[in-house]
Amino acid sequence: MRTYALLIADDEASFRELLQRRLGRKGYLVKAVGSGTEALEALAEEEFDAAIFDMKMPGLDGIATLRRAREIQPSLPVLILTGHGSIETAVEAIRAGAYDYLTKPCNLAELEAVLEKALERRVLEVENQGLREALRRLGDEVEIVGRSEPIRRLLELTRRVAQGSMPVLIEGESGTGKELIARAVHLWSPRASGPFIPVNAGALPAPLLESELFGHARGAFTGAVAAKPGLVELAEGGTLFLDEIGEMPLEVQAKLLRFLESHEVRRVGETRIRRVDVRIVAATNRCLTDEVNAGRFREDLYYRLNVVTLHVPPLRERREDIPLLVEHFLARLGSAKEMTPDAMEILMQQEFRGNVRELFNVVQRGVILSPDRFIAPEDLGLAVRRARSGQAGAGLEAGPTGRLDGSASETGEPFPTLDEVERAHIARALERTGWNRAQAAQLLGVSVRTLYRKIESYGLRSGM
């Protein structure tokens, strides 16, 4: 059961001590101070789950303390106590953000009941914040498309693994869909009603990543104007997905290891320890044993994470799923267009080093660039691979129609070179976007710098 931290500010020592003893016996962690100024200092040092402020205190009164407290910890529920009850004072307290208002001498059982309700709302707000964060980053459903044997084996193992609570390590090349498998682990688990929160473990430098994961206290560093819970806390009762775990800085690896061993976190700049129930699912496109041998990844963390490993196969090992994926992507894009047989044949031959993500980009380009209902090979913008062994013309470059004879088209005209195909493809993308180079680069799947270089190389000009 979670232990809640309470802050009491009251200048009447006997009443303050009475509350501290009574609530302490109820299992609360209570810090009691005698003034509003001391209360604000305490709030700046650590986070509390609720607070009780006396209305009349020397220096800052209860209302002023409440307003300042909400600047430090905006979601803090505060009860106001006063020996001078009046409707005007009650309205002022509620307007200032108080959760409730009780008059002295107050019934302690009533105070405890109101406090419990305030804490219930606090827990609900934190849970909702975690859910909103999860929904902001990802949708509600997981769609894993494929009927190949490698995919069937993977999904069968994923369903079994999902029922446990141990850490899971997902391995696979970039673009294979590791995050989809992580979501499946979550949604097929008893934690499905909790949040699923992903974070790229290699996207931030160590100090920022530590703060993002474990939170920080107010004033912990420049710009920390308020206390903030970390993603580990927001994932309470659910799953935290650590993508690209192999790129996590070593100093953060040490803190993650401590969390996996104790399930306890301490925010940056804070001494308070919080216990958090969350499942860790990690993913990597690197060989972690190589990273361990190179000293870039902690061996003890590797063994802690590697309880169960799920391997996501690359697309080239499940080519039979490509037609299903193409159909799925066309539906996802809301397109009624179809791939021509030649175009589908070219897709089936590609290596797709970018895997499913690259295939989606190719299908999207085809939808945008095809002038009619049918997506032809020249609409895909692919550098066509060499013919497979045993086919006529083996070793020759395929033409943009997917034919592999290496000679000429049915009209007797020679096939264009790959440079000519690329030039025409870039020109079409520029025309479709009104020569908006940023949009054209996105459409082509290249950087703006690369596009500028190609435009210069091919001598392309607007209006040509």
Cα–Cα distance list, 14 to 11, 20, 107 (Å):
9, 10, 16
- Say whether pLDDT at 172 is over 90: yes
**Helix or strand run (H / E) with residue 442:** helix 437-444
- Residues 351-357, mean pLDDT to the nearest whole number: 92
Q: pLDDT averaged over the chain?
A: 82
Those residues whose C-beta lies under 8 Å from the C-beta of residue 457, and which sit 6 or more positions away, are none
pLDDT digits (tens, 9 = 90+) for 274-315: 889 999 999 999 999 999 999 999 999 999 999 999 999 999
- Residues 430-458, mean pLDDT to the nearest whole number: 81
Residue 203: per-residue pLDDT: 81
Report the distance separating Cα 114 and Cα 117, nearest Å.
Answer: 5
What is the pTM assigned to this prediction? 0.57
Residue 417: per-residue pLDDT: 59
- Say whether pLDDT at 107 is over 90: no
Instruction: List, as one string, the DSSP characters of 166-226.
Output: S-EEEE--TTS-HHHHHHHHHHTSTTTTS-EEEEETTSS-HHHHHHHHH-B-TTSSTT--S
Q: How confident is the model at residue 397 (pLDDT cuts 50, 70, 90)?
A: very low
- Residues 185-211, mean pLDDT to the nearest whole number: 89
Residue 409: per-residue pLDDT: 39
- Residues 448-457, mean pLDDT to the nearest whole number: 81
DSSP label at 435?
Answer: T
Higher pLDDT, 103 or 361: 361
Most confident among 25-39, 106-120, 277-291 (mean pLDDT): 277-291
- Residues 21-45, mean pLDDT to the nearest whole number: 89
Task: Please check whether residue 168 is in contact with residue 310, taking contact to mean a CB–CB distance below 8 angstroms.
Answer: yes
Task: Please check whether residue 198 is in contact with residue 186, taking contact to mean a CB–CB distance below 8 angstroms.
Answer: no
Residue 174: per-residue pLDDT: 92
Write out the two tokens for 112: 């405890």
- Say whether pLDDT at 444 is over 80: no
Residue 125: per-residue pLDDT: 64
Burial of 58 per CB tally in 10 Å (0-12, 13-18, 19+): exposed
Higher pLDDT, 281 or 416: 281
Residue 137: per-residue pLDDT: 43
**Helix or strand run (H / E) with residue 9:** strand 5-9
- Is 317-458 in the same CATH topology as 5-125? no
CATH 1.10.8.60 fits 317-458, yes or no: yes
Q: What are phi and psi of 43, to 5 degrees?
A: -65, -35
Calculate ∠ Cα 110-114-116, nearest 5°. 115
Q: How many CB atoms lie within 10 A of CB 13?
A: 10
| Sequence ranges of the domains in the chain | 5-125, 138-313, 317-458
Architecture of domain 138-313: 3-Layer(aba) Sandwich (3.40)
Residue by residue, what is the 3-state secondary structure of 373-434? CEECHHHCCCCCCECCCCCCCCCCECCCCCCCCCCECCCCCECCCHHHHHHHHHHHHHHHCC
Write out the two tokens for 267: 């925010």
CATH 3.40.50.2300 fits 5-125, yes or no: yes
Count Cβ neighbours within 10 Å for each residue of 284-320 and write b for 16 or more, e otherwise: bbeebeebbeeebbbeebbebbeebebbbbbbeebee
- Say whether pLDDT at 150 is over 90: yes
